[in-house]
Structure 1
Amino acid sequence: MPRRKGAPEVNAGSMADIAFLLLIFFLVTTTIETDAGLDRMLPPIEPPDTDVVIKQKNIFTVNINKNGQLLADEALMDIKDLRKAAMEFLDNGGDGSCDFCKGKRDASSSDNPSKAIISLKNDRETKYATYITVQNELVGAYNDLRNREAQRLYNRDFVQMESEYLNPETPSSVRDELKDKVKRIQELFPQKLSEAETSTSN
């Protein structure tokens, strides 16, 4: 009786190489999602030469409770009205030193855009979506005013100028030209948006 042959052996010597190549392929072609987060730059830690006294009228306080209700300058307000109210505060020019402000020049409101501060405080149980919406409205108030001045001075939108300036692919000659313009607009309406420590509702 003839002897039966066993099953042919599979040469597994190159399997490790194939697995290694597949691993490299997936590492190179896979994109990893990154969280954008909030664009905030903390000021440098420098002790002030003198004690800075901030007048209460130069602070626009915004409080969000755990139910998503908004209290702006001690008055209930809808989120859709927040941007307009913030712009009126920033653009007030109460002390008359701002020659580009178009506000009411109310003596009981902010003196000057350089002195105006927006203070945001939220409850620990505030919904994240509400918090982000309020943030967007407040930053939008600054951007709208900056856009207005950029149009007046350079016939361009500030947001577009800033994004072009911050884009690393923008030629250095163009970035150098935009640097002074962007800085000038930022100095007209400096973004002074502070966040107070969160509180817990009882």
Structure 2
Amino acid sequence: MLIKKRKREDADINGSSMADIAFLLLIFFLVTTTINVDTGIGLVLPPPLEEDQEPPPIKERNLMNILVNAQGRILMDEEPYQLDEVKPRLIEFIKNPNNEADLAENPELAIVSIKTQRATPYRIYVDMLDEVMGAYKDLRDEASRTNYGVPYGALREESPQQQQVKDMYPKKISIAEPDES
């Protein structure tokens, strides 16, 4: 006697619910994933000059030229410096406590110019910029403590006291186009 084989029906899987689950998983991962955004270096740029407007004249003594080569060597006004010597030298240049002829006439006129080569490592460039910003921060902190008895960071944003300290030591930083060589 032959046993009849039963023909089994194929089980159907409802595909619409799979699409719903896949869509929900996609939304879940989009919502929970963090995306790191490189914010770059935050600097406030001056407004562009109008076409008929000439750049203001700058006396050589009020300009501190900082050159950084591809090997990370630093020249400040044609003299070699190490990175940790930059901040004290800038503070001396900007303040000019002894009214020396080769330093800035006064802090309001001091300009720091940074120029690099294209092959300069980005880390060295950022470290140099940190030293320059640190010099201005130290100068503003000192002025704020002297005049108001509190560090610059403790002054209320956009207060007259903060504006006065900013006016005493305005950040005038020029970042020149890098050289090819």
Taking structure 2 as the reference length, the TM-score comes to: 0.89
The AA in structure 2 aligned to 1:109 is L
Partner of 2:83: 79
Partner of 2:60 in structure 1?
Answer: 56
Tell me whether 1:179 sits opposite 2:168 in the alignment. no
Per-residue CA shift, 1:24-82, capped at 9, x if unaligned?
21222111101121111111124487763211000011001111110001101111100
Residue 136 in 1 paired to residue 130 in 2? yes
Task: State which drifts further: 182-191 or 7-16.
Answer: 7-16
Structure ID, larger Rg: 2
CA contact 1:143–1:159 (8 Å) conserved in 2 = no
CA displacement, residues 135-181 of structure 1 (integer Å, 9 cap, x when unaligned): 100110001001111222333322354xx74xxxxxxxxxxxx5333
- Among candidates 92, 111, 117, match of residue 117 of structure 1: 111
Secondary structure class of the residue paired with 2:89: helix
Map 1:2-151; keep pairs closer than 5 Å. 2-47=5-50, 52-92=56-96, 103-151=97-145
Mapped contact 1:71–1:77 kept (Cα < 8 A): yes
In structure 1, C-alpha distance between the alignment counterparts of 2:151 and 2:33, rounded to whole Å: 36
For 2:159, what is the secondary structure of its paired residue? Answer: helix
With normalisation by structure 1, the TM-score equals 0.80
Q: Matched residue of 1:194: which SS?
A: strand
2:178 counterpart residue number: 198
Following the alignment from structure 2 to structure 1, what is the Cα–Cα distance between the partners of residues 53 and 15? 74
Give 1:6 deviation, angstroms.
Answer: 2.9
1:28 & 1:50 partners in 2: Cα distance?
A: 51
Aligned 8 A contact 1:149 1:185 in 2: yes
- 1:85-136 residue CA offsets vs partner (Å, 9 max, x unmatched): 00000111xxxxxxxxxx2221331101110000111111111111111110
Whether 2:159 is the aligned partner of 1:159: answer: no
Partner-residue secondary structure (3-state), 2:15 = coil
Q: What is the CA RMSD across the aligned residues, in angstroms?
A: 1.9
For 1:52 and 1:8, the matched residues in 2 are separated by: 83
Partner SS state of residue 66, structure 2: strand
Partner-residue secondary structure (3-state), 1:38: coil
> For 1:28 and 1:154, how far apart are their aligned partners in 2?
47
Q: How far apart are 1:200 and its partner, in Å?
A: 2.7
